[in-house]
Structure 1
Amino acid sequence: MDEQLVALAESLVAADGVSVLTGAGVSNASGVPTFRGDGGIWNDGFDPADFHVDRFESDPAGFWTDRHELHERMFGEVTGPNDAHRALARLEELGVLDVVVTQNTDGLHREAGTNRLVELHGDAARSVCVACGESVSTEAALDDVRAGTAPPTCPTVGCEGHLKPDVVLYGEDLSAAAYGSARRMARESDVFLVVGSSLTVAPASTLPEEAAARGELAVFDVAETAKDHLADYLVRGDATETLPALVEAVQARLPNEVTVGDAGGTAQEA
């Protein structure tokens, strides 16, 4: 097994606080395309300007028409959580991992069994009314768009406010509560892992810097990232292989009564 994984496993078992930041690279193996690079959304005929909050406010019908196409491209072939999602859920189940902070909006961490989750960019499966705050499923909103009713409106009787995907659009700030929680975990964790993120997009890209100033930083990615120079552990490779290997190494260093279950298995709520 990779010496980096062995050393990291020992640090995780000894740590009082462990957090993870995940990016698009974690979900790519599940059929969710990345935004940048080869095969990325923004190189596949979609324009980020079409998904700016100003577009939503000035042309909600056009925004939702384009959003439908984007949603189908992003989530139309999703196969469910992969071994990387399941490995992180397993680390939580083992009591090693405190929280997953994710830049992804696909909900796959929750589906894999992660309970302590901070979604920095929201959840694409939900949409909210901008007038009253009512939450509905995005599929219900998209059904209206498919039926020719765009923009979709609030189902609450007497409201009829426009629905908006419950994600952070271009031009919007991150949720203060979500980002505050993420910064607190980065600052307080003995070990902070980054998995599948290029670490080029602020403000999430600043979290590893805050974490490295306090504790150890581990970076998992198939390629170099913008924060590799800060890392105590650099693990190259597909996260669907490296994270289950990390779980295996962690389980080997825990008391036998704690390690019931297979590495990478789906976590069950305690």
Structure 2
Amino acid sequence: MTQAIDAGASLADLVAGGGVVVLSGAGLSTESGIPDYRGETGRRRRAEPMTYQAFVGGEAARRRYWARSHLGWRHIARAAPNDGHRAVAELQARGLVDGIITQNVDGLHQAAGAREVIELHGGLDRVLCLSCGERTPRDRLDRRLREANPGWDAQADMINPDGDAVLDDDQVESFRVVPCERCGGPLKPDVIFFGENVPPPRVRDCYALTERAGVLLVLGSSLTVMSGLRFVRRAAGAGIPVVIVNRGPTRGDDLARLNLDLPLGSALTGLVAALP
């Protein structure tokens, strides 16, 4: 306990200077009922998720994804911001946080009141047509899928951070997918799948924000994939202090000036309380 208190004081000292850029991952949303990918051990909880190549490669893969995601979206849409999200929004309102980069696709930073959040991997609340490029609200697609699948009453044993529910094959086979209303093309959630690249302009914006930071504060990310780790490496290489608050080890631990293994909600609430 003493170590945690001392570490918390160091965190407050670093954040009090302002210029903080937050890089958040799935661990920040676990207290909202959305599981992370790896847990405290760093070991993956599930098999590999849907890849971009599989999704665009065939109708069967898209049916499997949309059946599972249609059910999982109900869980994501009901999730509410937790103490960690609210603390980040409060730090931004106080002028201490200059920017937020999130690897999450759940929209909970914005729901807590945060502004100008860069969604590195996109957002589940939007849908993209792969043919004409039109973006539409997820709620609209949800209504269309409900109408196209009356009586579909599948139940999921588990919901994943990307809104993907685990379903039996027979539940998937009976599901009907709907096309783009404008052109009839295939629809995809406006998120970055595994095997798909983050748009270069978005990456450049994240690098620019990182390079202007006084502190890079990593929250709830194991930094296992390069998508987030590259910003930690960029900050550390530029001499910008990196602070990591996460349950369990991360791939960026050796680059951090301060590393806290603490529950995110209570740690960030305590941080806000410790600041003037």
Instruction: Indicate the TM-score class for this superposition, using the shorter chain for normalisation.
Output: 0.7 to 0.9
3-state SS of paired residue (1:34):
coil
Opposite residue 12 of structure 1, the aligned amino acid is: V
3-state SS of paired residue (1:98):
strand
Return closer, same or farther for 1:12/1:36 CA change in 2, 3 Å cut-off.
Answer: closer
Conserved in 2, the CA contact under 8 Å of 1:126 and 1:165? yes
Q: Aligned-pair distance for 1:71?
A: 5.1
Return closer, same or farther for 1:43/1:145 CA change in 2, 3 Å cut-off.
Answer: farther
Q: Aligned-pair distance for 1:25?
A: 0.3
Opposite residue 231 of structure 2, the aligned amino acid is: L
Conserved in 2, the CA contact under 8 Å of 1:32 and 1:75? no
Q: Aligned-pair distance for 1:37?
A: 4.4
* d(CA) in 2 for partners of 1:141, 1:64: 14
**Aligned counterparts, 1:238-253, within 5 A:** 238-250=263-275, 252=276
* d(CA) in 1 for partners of 2:211, 2:187: 35
Conserved in 2, the CA contact under 8 Å of 1:88 and 1:114? yes
Q: Aligned-pair distance for 1:43?
A: 3.9
For structure 2, the residue ranges without an aligned partner over 5 or more in a row are: 150-174
Conserved in 2, the CA contact under 8 Å of 1:144 and 1:150? no
For the pair 1:207 / 2:234, whether they are aligned, the reply is no
Conserved in 2, the CA contact under 8 Å of 1:142 and 1:152? no
Deviating beyond 6 angstroms after TM superposition, the runs of 4 or more aligned structure 1 residues are none
Conserved in 1, the CA contact under 8 Å of 2:40 and 2:249? no
Conserved in 1, the CA contact under 8 Å of 2:222 and 2:251? yes
Return closer, same or farther for 1:64/1:184 CA change in 2, 3 Å cut-off.
Answer: farther
Q: Aligned-pair distance for 1:47?
A: 4.7
3-state SS of paired residue (1:2):
helix
Opposite residue 110 of structure 1, the aligned amino acid is: Q
Q: Aligned-pair distance for 1:88?
A: 0.2
Equivalence for 1:116: 116
**Aligned counterparts, 1:228-243, within 5 A:** 228-243=253-268
Q: Aligned-pair distance for 1:229?
A: 1.6
For structure 1, the residue ranges without an aligned partner over 5 or more in a row are: 253-270
Q: Aligned-pair distance for 1:204?
A: 1.3
Equivalence for 1:69: 68
* d(CA) in 2 for partners of 1:68, 1:139: 15
Opposite residue 71 of structure 2, the aligned amino acid is: E
Equivalence for 1:257: none
Superposed CA RMSD? 2.5
Equivalence for 2:107: 107
Q: Aligned-pair distance for 1:67?
A: 3.2
**Identical amino acids, percent of aligned pairs:** 32
Return closer, same or farther for 1:26/1:88 CA change in 2, 3 Å cut-off.
Answer: same
With normalisation by structure 1, the TM-score equals 0.82
Opposite residue 242 of structure 1, the aligned amino acid is: A
Return closer, same or farther for 1:142/1:39 CA change in 2, 3 Å cut-off.
Answer: farther
For the pair 1:223 / 2:226, whether they are aligned, the reply is no
